[in-house]
Amino acid sequence: MAGEKTKGKSKSGGKGTGAGPGGGSRQMTVTVKTAKRRKLSSTLWLQRQLNDPYVYEAKRLGYRSRAAFKIIQLDDRFHLLRPGVRVVDLGAAPGGWTQVAVQRVKAGQPKGGTVVGMDILEWDPIAGATVLQGDFLADDAPDRLKEALGGPADVVLSDMAAPTTGHPSTDHLRIIALVEVALHFAMEVLTPGGAFVAKVFQGGTEKTLLDQLKKNFTTVRHAKPPASRSDSAETYVVATGFRGQTEEQPQNT
């Protein structure tokens, strides 16, 4: 691009850092000079992207986003995505989580699982998955997901996030509201023993939401995967061992 330059220099000792998730590849520290027409914040974001080992590894492995490593790390810890299970991925675009789910449940293979993703944004098809575009908050969204799923879900994933305002309390309330809607859907479609994973901000879930999770799941924990940037307020609530629908909950259709 006109007006900007990048410089690459090796890390200390001139050896590959091994810092990337895959290791073994030489990483270069890239310094981006601020262009006259670009804000400093944009320059810092670009420099962070260029030096992020997860960005590099995502490109190398064909994942659509570095976020793929978040669900990989959560799954390695909690063992959510097993061959043959049904998975719903909410807030799925551009598709990194969906790609990982397809691989791990062996969707599209004999006796493999099922993966259905939805996002309000347009996103490209993924082999082995059903890709839906639509607003999850729309009245018809749950029925569209259930129809594509073809049966009860074993795992409901939600990486949904409302646009941030820069006001921590407001942003926290917005994302909690999304988690509440996702949880309501999860309790409609999950099979007993199923799992629910949702993004929240640090500080965890509101007490009423946490109480609801504990009432309906045997285990509820918060986890921040290593791929989640240290300066990000995001963390994830992981609820496992769904107790099954109660009389208070709507029946799955």
CA–CA gap between residue 59 and residue 226 (Å, rounded): 18
- Residue 231 is assigned to a ligand binding site: no
CB 55 within 8 A of CB 49: yes
CB 180 within 8 A of CB 193: no
- Residue 23 is assigned to a ligand binding site: no
- Residue 76 is assigned to a ligand binding site: no
Q: How far is CA 240 from CA 53, 146, 179, 215, in A?
A: 30, 20, 15, 12
- Residue 171 is assigned to a ligand binding site: no
What angle (nearest 5°) sits at the alpha carbon of residue 84, between those of residues 142 and 127?
Answer: 70
Q: Give me the amino acid identity at 26.
A: R
Q: What is the DSSP string of 62-131?
A: T-SSTTHHHHHHHHHHH----TT-EEEEES-TT-HHHHHHHHHHTTTSTT--EEEEEESS-----TTEEE
Asked if 59 is an active-site residue, the reply is no
Per annotation, catalytic residue among 70, 106, 146, 199: 199
- Residue 95 is assigned to a ligand binding site: yes
Structure tokens at 143: 């029925």
Mark the binding-site residues, compressed into ranges: 95, 97, 119, 135, 159
Q: Annotated binding site for S-adenosyl-L-methionine: which residue ranges?
A: 95, 97, 119, 135, 159
Q: Which residues are catalytically annotated?
A: 199
